[in-house]
Chain A
Amino acid sequence: MKNKKIITGIVLLLIAGCVQAQEFKVAKNSGRLELYVGKVTVEGYDGNEIIFSSKDGGKDRDERAEGLRSVNSLGLSDNTGLGINVTDKGNVVEVRQLKKTNAPNIRVQVPKGVIVSFTHESQYGGEAVFKNLTNEIEVSAQYNSIELDNVTGPLTVKTIYGHVEATFSSTIKDPISIVSVYGYVDVTLPQATKADLKLSTSYGEIFVAPEFDIKIEATGGMVHYSDKVVGKINGGGINIDLACNYGKVYLRKK
């Protein structure tokens, strides 16, 4: 009888601990992390685990759902206590949100060797934020705006309606490709960046910091004028491709 009480106590303590910490960890320092969620904040850190935590702090708790588990149309259930399902498929860790509209506010800490991929199609979502990452980042979004802060690339970002803001750290890795149809693309580079630039907008405009002296690429002694700016800064180097259709392109110096 006494033993039973102790065990129940320990279990209760453990559950309480879990609820308080609101963390879910996957031991992984390579492969791909595929995020199929509406909004997320991804941060780089030194470690060997992908750590998921909630930024909501449980304010979204549904008393009526007490004792039930949430499931989604794929038949996945919340196995993290954070409103997301995390499935480890060996080389790939898939993360899916359970609610269709109200995306949970998830923070993910990622070790260095993991490729981070963010994919979201529905209009119910928010911003995807990527901070202090030396990882490769892939973003394929429809409505989300993308914020990248202190990243190195490689980077492939596409969003249709959202805008993209990116600030790069001093070392940049090839290639950088950012595309938005309706949103703007605003990129900040260190002044010394050696790059082959390709800036284009169909119906927008291109603004570049005066510190960047773009040597326009001439083919056969002729400069080709179009809505595309193709040229080198600081002698050329890494490929940076920024494109908009209706939005504007901004290139700033750090």
Chain B
Amino acid sequence: MEKQKLESMLIDYIDNRLNTVDKRVVEQELVNNAESYKLYEELKEVMHLMDRSARIEPSAKLRAGFDDLLKEEMTSARQTKTVFFQPALYRVAAAVALLILGGGIGFWISHQREERQLAERERLEALEKQMQITQQMMAMLQNGQSASQRIQGVNVAVSMGKADDEIVNALVKTMNEDPNSNVRLAALDALSKFSDDAAVRKALVTSLQKQKDPVVQISLIQLLVKMKEKSVVNDLRKIVDDEKTMQAVKDEAYSGILRLS
């Protein structure tokens, strides 16, 4: 049996951890081989010593010394705390500064992104507001109960500055069909601001035949004359020849014919 294997088996034997078969093999070996027996004796001695040393207690003096040291260490540690309070404050300040800095960077990054989003949102909001105003204006123009609400609608249309087709159409409809002369007059006045527009011009020309109220007729004739719209001369003649036309309107139409031709 080689030495290494024998040694491990002997250790197990001494610890009494071998099964009966291995135990008998080891005992056989010890009886047959004097050298193995010697090794066994040595190992037994070493292990016995090891067992004993493991159980050595620290002496009372050592313990007292240790306690003293511990106490000393503890008091000194406490002293450190009080003595070095100032740096602790610095540490807190540093932590706070770091936090602010971190937050700042984070904010800056998100701010950059937000700015872009904000611009986009502002654009959308402006668009939405524009639409809301248009809708509000339309609702006002269609308010059958209140003429002043309809005039307000016309005023809103004027305040929007530029007129898209939808607004122009609504104003033309109001100018031609609203039951109240003041409202029709306001719509006419609003449209006069956009008279450079070809569609508005055409609407104003065709409106002349539709208007029956002298107040609106006079204003419309005056506007068309100011626009030097020569194509309405025939319509003006018709107005003059119409027996039902009021004198003031006739006078205005006469004056218009003179100035346009």
Contacts and interface: CB of A to CB of B under 8 A. Distances in A.
A239 B150 CA distance: 13
Contacts of B214: 160, 181
Interface stretch (A7-15, A62-70, A172-180): A172-180
Interface stretch (A16-24, A48-56, A151-159): A151-159
Given A115-B146, A245-B218, A156 B155 contact: no
Nearest to A32: B145
Contact of A179 (B145, B147, B215, B248): B215
Contacts of B151: 154, 156, 175, 177, 239
Contact of B181 (A140, A153, A155, A239): A140
A245 B252 CA distance: 10
B222 interface: yes
Given A177-B186, A239-B155, A241-B186, A156 B147 contact: yes
Given A160-B214, A239-B155, A245-B248, A91 B145 contact: yes
Nearest to A31: B145
B246 A202 contact: no
Contacts of A202: 218, 222, 252
A136 B146 contact: yes
A154 B148 contact: yes
B152 interface: yes
Interface in A172-230: 173-175, 177, 179, 181-182, 202
B220 interface: no
A43 B213 CA distance: 29
Contacts of B181: 140, 158, 179
The size class of the interface chain A forms with chain B is 20 to 34
A182 B186 CA distance: 19
A94 to B, nearest CB: 14
Nearest to B182: A156
A155 B185 CA distance: 14
The size class of the interface chain B forms with chain A is 20 to 34
Nearest to A154: B148
A233 to B, nearest CB: 17
Contacts of A138: 147-148, 180, 182
A241 B248 CA distance: 21
A167 B188 CA distance: 27
Nearest to A177: B182
Contacts of A239: 151, 155
A91 B180 CA distance: 18
Given A181-B214, A245-B248, A246-B248, A158 B182 contact: yes
Given A154-B148, A175-B151, A160 B218 contact: no
Interface string A115-141: 100000000000000000000101010
A191 to B, nearest CB: 24
A181 B215 CA distance: 7
Nearest to B151: A175
B6 to A, nearest CB: 117
Contacts of B252: 202, 245
A181 B185 CA distance: 13
Nearest to B219: A243
Contact of B155 (A91, A175, A179): A175
Contacts of A243: 185
Given A91-B145, A156-B180, A181-B218, A175 B152 contact: yes
A250 B245 CA distance: 28
Given A181-B246, A181-B248, 9 more contacts: A31-B145, A136-B147, A138-B182, A154-B149, A154-B151, A156-B147, A160-B214, A179-B181, A245-B215
11 contacts: A115-B145, A136-B147, A138-B147, A138-B148, A140-B181, A156-B151, A158-B185, A174-B148, A241-B186, A243-B185, A246-B248
Interface of B: 145-149, 151-152, 155, 180-183, 185-186, 213-215, 218, 222, 246, 248, 252
